[in-house]
A and B are shown apart, each in its own frame.
Chain A
Amino acid sequence: MISRRALELATAILTGSFGVAVVVQSLDNGIGWSSEGVDAGTFPFLTGIIILAGSLYNLVRGIVPAATLASVPIAITSIELWRLAGLFVPAAIFVAVIPLLGMYMASAAYVFAVLAFPRHQSVPWSAATAVATALALYVVFERMFQVSLPHGALAAVLGF
């Protein structure tokens, strides 16, 4: 399980490091005033400083928890963490295999996997849902909206 405090700290560190990255990157564009007016890096530099300062404040608030934080010490219980992973991990794998399998096959495989493996639905029913999803995507995007979704490296090898 993850405590509220740890989550606050992790988020503050996450936003803070984004702030640092913004500050460092904006220095490349120059900050301050030049003959062309305000330099391109100035505005991002200022926002980066604000992000960093705000994150530090939130970090300190996280280390020295106020009364409100103490009242909810646990942010995510282990059961909740398990459920989160159950949604997010398959979704991340789905996104990762899109370049290989293409949008249609990847989404069909994804739907089949999340329905059939945890036994939420029977195998034939999962397969039917998976095929229907891929077909619906094809009709709506490729046909109606004329948006070509990625077909994937595998389809290219097979000659589609």
Chain B
Amino acid sequence: MGNLAELLHGFTIAVTVPHLVLMAVGVLLGILVGVLPGLGAPNGVSLLLPLTFGMQPVSAIILLSSMYWGALFGGSVTSILFNIPGEPSSVATTFDGYPMARDGRPTTALATAFGSAAFGALIGVILITFLASWVAQVALAFGPPEYFAVYFLAFASFVGMGGAAPIKTVVALAIGFAIAAIGIDTVSGSVRLTMGIDELVKGVNFVVAVMGLFGIGELLVAVEEEFHARAVSSKIDWREVFRAVGRLPRHSVALLRSAAIGCWMGITPGGPTAASFMSYGIARRFSRRGRYFGTGEVEGIISPETADHAAGTSALLPMLSLGIPGSATAAVMMGGLMIWGLNPGPMLFVDQKDFVWGLIASMYVGNIVAVALVLLTVPVFAALMRIPFVVIAPLIVIICVVGAYSVSNSYLDVVMMLGFGIVGYLFKKLFYPLAPLVLAIVIGDKAEDAFRQSMLMSKGSLGIFFANKLVTCLVVAGIALLLLPLVLQLARPFRKSTSPAAETAAQEKVII
């Protein structure tokens, strides 16, 4: 196996003292942004990006990816101990994690979460190890129609499988595309959709949208419910850690299913947030103990956590081999790659073997470092959360304002960020999904370019999307996913038992 030899070579790059130190630093910073609600992995990684310009690309990507792992773990800590999701992707962990911790089993909840998270990440990395170079090889033959079909499939899977009301998902997606189109059109060079504001020529950076939608929007949702960080004990009982991890194999069905959902959602740009919600929803429907979900069920923690980390990890696969980021954070990292002078996409596997395999090897090591550090530092970061919310909230507002400003030193960005905050609050309140909106902003331009280039190739005929087997399969699968909610709705009158009202009410509770 050529891949294994390459991987071993990667380990000789990743397991060196400077790189291990970088991993520890990255993980700790990541846990910090993960713990603070309103500050997430995308925000954190983009704040750290300027520090990496003087580094070797492989060292820089190890630092940034370690921060990503740390943030994924950190978000679960506050979800479980305080019922406050530090990251959007760990919202689903609060449903069962907090009740279990409140019942006096915080160690069990944390160890179960970290154990299943590590399992999810491991599956994700194994997938990358064996699939990434193969996908890259296939993708070398991709043209614009194939790329557009991949984007189409990714967005269709949001509508068909995202779980939120399909029309609301479509509206959120389309708004994202429209926002992505603001500014200078990359194909014709003409200025679009500036609404009479000249400064909008530069476009709307997705970091501005992320800070508002997730940062301010989440703060508003949090402040609405009278907020008490009633911390459950954050002491770690080490024997219970090993016992809880030892019990995980009993739930191997849930683990494998969640890892599969996570990997799928990570590779198609669904991202960790959608993955964890979907996994939780599916687990509740199929688990024998589904009725008890929400009261501290073990599988209610395993499912979102495994899927969250599997998605977070495998989101790097399409970034590396196709140049399509699988999550918002991966999109920021892709920006970093381009700044360091690397060209994300299939050629990376030919030209930059050390970089690719050093990164993949560092994922194995980095996740072990992350699990160890997060367990050791739980009391420290839990103490941080004892600072009253009235003090934390204005500080997060300031961080979001400064973060939005520093993207391009623009005051308009700050005002837009605040506007996105209101939109984020309304959308959360009414169960419009936010993840498709952000992903459409990130890769909307690329999808449009791919579409227009395909049209140029075919002189305006849509037939190019059915020109060969590969592209036809992708497009047909996408259309099928788009029509899935419609088919389910039409089929509903023929099913007798479950009342649709109860089902949607439960669904709305899950999709936040």
By the criterion CB–CB under 8 Å, are B414 and A86 in contact? Answer: no
- With a cutoff of 8 Å between Cβ atoms, the chain B residues found around residue A150 in the complex are 405, 411
Interface readout for A67-87 with B: 1 if CB under 8 Å, 0 if not?
110010001100010011011
User: Is A68 touching B508 in the complex (CB atoms < 8 A)?
Assistant: yes
Q: Do the beta carbons of B448 and A87 come within 8 Å of each other?
A: no
Interface residues of A (CB under 8 A from B): 7-8, 10-11, 14-15, 18-19, 21-22, 25-26, 29, 33, 36-41, 43-44, 47-48, 50-51, 54-55, 57-58, 61, 66-68, 71, 75-76, 80, 83-84, 86-88, 90-92, 94-95, 98-99, 103, 107, 110-111, 114-115, 118, 120-121, 129, 133, 137, 141, 145-150
Q: Give me the interface of B with A, judged by CB distance under 8 Å.
A: 47, 50-51, 167-168, 170-171, 174-175, 177-178, 181, 185, 187-188, 190, 192-195, 216, 219-220, 223-226, 388, 390-391, 393-395, 397-398, 401-402, 405-406, 409, 411, 414-415, 418, 421-423, 425-427, 429-430, 432, 448, 451-452, 455-456, 460, 501, 504-505, 508
Asked if A111 and B192 sit within 8 Å, CB to CB, the answer is no
Shortest CB–CB separation between residue A76 and chain B, in angstroms?
7
Question: Contacts A38-B452, A71-B505; is A145 near B418 (CB within 8 Å)?
Answer: no
7 A-B Cβ contacts within 8 A?
A26-B193, A38-B452, A38-B456, A43-B177, A47-B175, A87-B219, A87-B393
Tell me the complex Cα distance, A86–B187, Å: 45
Q: Does A58 contact B168, Cβ atoms closer than 8 Å?
A: yes
Q: Is the CB of B409 within 8 A of A120?
A: no
Closest to A23 in B: B178
Contact (Cβ within 8 A) A55 B171: yes
A18 touches B167 (CB 8 A): no
Are B167 and A57 interface neighbours, CB within 8 A?
yes
Bound state CA distance, A99 and B501, in angstroms? 50
**Residues of chain B within 8 A of A129, CB atoms compared:** 391
Q: How far is the CB of B352 from chain A (nearest CB, A)?
A: 27
Could you say which residues of chain B place their CB within 8 Å of the CB of A90?
Answer: 394
* Shortest CB distance B227–A (Å): 9
A110–B432 alpha-carbon span in the complex (Å): 31
Known: A47-B177, A80-B224, A83-B223. A120 touches B168 (CB 8 A): no
Of B175, B421, B505, the contact of A68 (CB 8 Å cutoff):
B505
- Do B418 and A92 touch across chains, with their CB atoms under 8 A apart? yes
Task: Report B173 CB to chain A, min CB distance, Å.
Answer: 8
Tell me the smallest distance from the CB of B351 to a CB of chain A, in Å: 31
Q: CB-CB < 8 A to A86: which residues of B?
A: 223
Interface contact B177-A133, CB-CB below 8 Å: no
Nearest-neighbour CB distance to chain A for B261, whole angstroms, equals 25
Query: Is A88 in contact with B50, judged by CB distance below 8 angstroms?
Result: no
Is there contact, CB below 8 Å, between A68 and B501?
A: yes
User: Closest CB-CB distance, B335 to chain A, in whole Å?
Assistant: 16
Is B402 in contact with A84, judged by CB distance below 8 angstroms? no
Distance of A11 Cα from B393 Cα, bound (Å): 25
Nearest Cβ in chain A — how far from B489, in angstroms? 12
* Pick from A76, A120, A133: contact of B224, CB under 8 Å: A76
Task: Tell me the nearest residue of chain B to A126, going by C-beta.
Answer: B391
Q: Considering the complex, give the chain A residue whose CB is closest to the CB of B226.
A: A83
Residues of B within 8 A of A133 (CB): 395, 398
Report the Cα distance A11→B219, complex, angstroms.
19
Q: A40 to B402, Cβ gap below 8 A?
A: no
Known: A54-B170, A68-B508, A103-B402. A40 touches B430 (CB 8 A): no
Instruction: Indicate if the CB atoms of B398 and A37 lie closer than 8 Å.
Output: no
Distance A29 CA – B188 CA, assembled complex (angstroms): 10
- Residues from chain A with Cβ under 8 Å of B391 in the complex: 115, 120-121, 129
Question: Which of A41, A110, A137 meets B402, CB within 8 Å?
Answer: A137
The minimal Cβ–Cβ distance linking B275 to chain A, given in whole angstroms, is 24
Question: Which residue on chain A has the smallest CB distance to residue B171?
Answer: A54
Report yes or no: A37 in contact with B501, Cβ–Cβ below 8 A: no
| Chain A hits for B181, CB < 8 A | 26, 43-44, 47
Q: Which 10 A-B pairs have the closest CB atoms?
A: A54-B171, A67-B501, A50-B174, A47-B177, A37-B456, A44-B181, A40-B185, A120-B390, A47-B174, A40-B188
Q: Are B167 and A54 in contact (CB under 8 A)?
A: yes
Looking at the assembled complex, report how far the CB atom of A18 sits from the nearest CB atom of chain B, in whole angstroms.
7
- Complex Cα distance A146/B51, Å? 10
CB-defined contacts of A145 to chain B, threshold 8 Å = 47, 50-51, 406
